Amino acid sequence: MKNLVSTNWLANNLDNVRILDASWHMPNTKRNTLREFQNAHIKNSNFFDLEKTSDQNSLLPHMLPDAKYWEETVSNLGIKNSDHIIVYDNSDVMSSCRIWYNFLYFGHSPDLISVLNGGLKKWLIEKKETVNYDKYFSKSSYAVTEDLSMVLNKNQINENIKNKTFELIDARSEERFHGLQLEPRKELKSGNIEGSKNVPFMELINEKDNTFKDKRELGLVFEKLQLDTNKHKAFTCGSGVTACILGLANSIISGKNPVIYDGSWSEYGLK
C-alpha cells in the first residue's frame, strides 16, 4: 500500500500520475470548492466533486454510488485502472481520504491510489506552484470491481451491538460523540452508537502542516482505546467522510483496507 505521498515526491512526479483535487467543505462554511479550485490548484490536477460522485438518489449524504455511475464518472476524466492517482484537498475535514477510500472500494489497486500528505495546505506553505487553468484528458474505459467487505450498513451495525464482532471507532469530536454539542444537521439527535469508541480525527494529524503523524504515533493513539486486538476495526463519523481519515491511519498501521459504516451518524442518528 502506498497510502501517502509527500509534497516533494509529487512535485517531482507531476507528469507521471493523475492528480485529483477532492476538496469538500461542510455547508456551514459557505466555501465554494469549485471556485477555489479554479482560482488555484496543483498543476495537472482535475476537480473531483465529492457530492456529484456520491449516490444521487440517496437522502443520506456522500453514500457510495453504484458501480456503473462510478465507472462513467472516472472514465469521463480519462483515468485508467493502471494510473497512479494522487488525491489532495484544501479542506478542514480532509475529504481526500474519502475519495481514496472510494477508489479502493471500487477496486483500484492499493499501490496506485495515494493521498497527498499535508494536502494543499502544506503545498502552499512550501510555496510550491499552483495554476488556474484546467488539464484535459481523453475519455477512458475504467473498469470497476466492488469490494463489499469494505462497507457496513445499519443492520450490520445493530448486529454488532449484540454480537460485538468488530470494534467501531467514531471520528467525530469528543463533544459530538458524547452528545454535549448539537449535530450540524438539524435532523440528527446527539450521541453515539452503543459500544463505539472515539478517536477525534485531528488527534491523528500534525496541526502545523496537516500531515499524518508517523506510524508509531498513530499506533499510540489507537492503543489508548484498549481495543480488542483480535477483532477487526471499522470506522464511522458524521457522514462517512472523516471516518476515512481513521481508516487511512489504520491502513498505515496495519496494511489493511479500511471498513466504513457508509451511513454513519447521518443515518444512525436520525430522530
User: How distant, in Å, are the alpha carbons of 18, 107, 174, 220, 245 from that of 223?
Assistant: 35, 30, 17, 5, 17
User: How distant, in Å, are the alpha carbons of 52, 63, 83, 263, 269 from that of 58?
Assistant: 12, 7, 30, 10, 16
Paired sense of beta strands 18-21 and 4-5, if any: unpaired
Cell triple for 266:
447521518
- Say which of 237, 243, 246, 260 is annotated catalytic: 237
Active-site residue flag, 244: no
Cell triple for 159:
448486529
Determine contact, residues 242/94, Cβ cutoff 8 Å.
yes
Per DSSP, what are the bridge partners of residue 261?
152
Per DSSP, what are the bridge partners of residue 113?
85
Determine contact, residues 100/2, Cβ cutoff 8 Å.
no
Q: What distance in Å separates the CA atoms of residue 110 and residue 21, rounded to the nearest whole number?
A: 19
Active site residues: 237
